[in-house]
Amino acid sequence: MLIDQDNAAYVPGFQYYEDNVRLLRAGLQQMLRRTAHMQRLSLLSLGVGHRYTVKGLIEGLGERLERYVIVEGSADIIELLRREVALPQQVRLEQSYFEEFETDQRFDVVEMGFVLEHVNDPELVLRRFRRFLAPGGRMMVAVPNADSLHRLIGHAAGLLPDVHDLSPADLALGHRRYFDPQSLDALMASCGLEVVGRAGLMLKPLTSAQLASLELDPRIVESMDEIGFGLPEICNAIFVEARPCD
């Protein structure tokens, strides 16, 4: 499946653009923290997306990044990344649908941040990329959380009929579903993956418009996100680190 990312929902000016960057920043922090013990690593990413995560991983991992393959379905997005970033020689871009990608290589980390909410069949994608993990390898996954505190409050107030409902912004971003902690764990287990670590991304008690109206000190927002790492059940997104069960 090709995620159509080159539209108004993925550039500055979109109502939730800053929220998306905030989520990506939190996910990047988790990946860098969880790979800090690795002296060298090979990495496989699904999608270029906003390019924020790819840039951050290349910069943050530096010389420790031995080999990096990025799978992306859009030739235009690949070209955009090449124009924006001088890619190191160990980085390779592969144009392919996720469901069709094949490789003989194996990777220490397979990263799929904010992918599974877009694809037709999340289980198919997880099972396919599980095969590409090296012995001892880790899958790192991030998805939107239906049980985010602001959605729970909206539901309790009668403003949101179902926490899994997709908003117009979700549809603009190409989202097909929300996950919650239980459904994500069940999906991972069905694909032969054991969750060995988790974190919350972006603690969001109110809607984006309500939070913006408060004009919070940036230090408050940063502190909310740091606290949110320990509250995966109610954050805006869930990050999990998983390994094959066998």
Q: pLDDT tens digits, residue range 170-181?
A: 888 889 999 999
Q: Evaluate whether 41 touches 51 at the Cβ level (below 8 Å).
A: no
Tell whether pTM > 0.75.
yes
Residue 92 has pLDDT above 70, yes or no: yes
Statement: 8-244 belongs to CATH 3.40.50.150 = yes
The whole-chain average pLDDT of the chain stands at 91
Work out the percent of the chain whose per-residue pLDDT is above 90. Answer: 74
Which pLDDT tens digit goes with each residue over 112-129?
999 999 999 999 999 999
**pLDDT for residue 10 is more than 70:** no
For residues 207 and 153, is the Cβ–Cβ distance under 8 A? no
Q: What would you report as the CA-atom Rg of the chain, rounded to the nearest whole angstrom?
A: 17
In the chain, which ranges are continuous DSSP H helix?
17-34, 52-61, 75-84, 122-130, 149-156, 168-172, 181-190, 208-214, 218-228
3-state SS class at 37? coil
Sheet-wide strand order for 65-72 = 91-95, 65-72, 41-46, 107-113, 133-144, 237-244, 193-201
Q: Residue 166 carries which DSSP code?
A: P
Helices (H) and strands (E) in the chain, counts: 9, 7
Determine how many CB atoms are found less than 10 A away from the CB of residue 117: 20
pLDDT at 50 over 60: yes
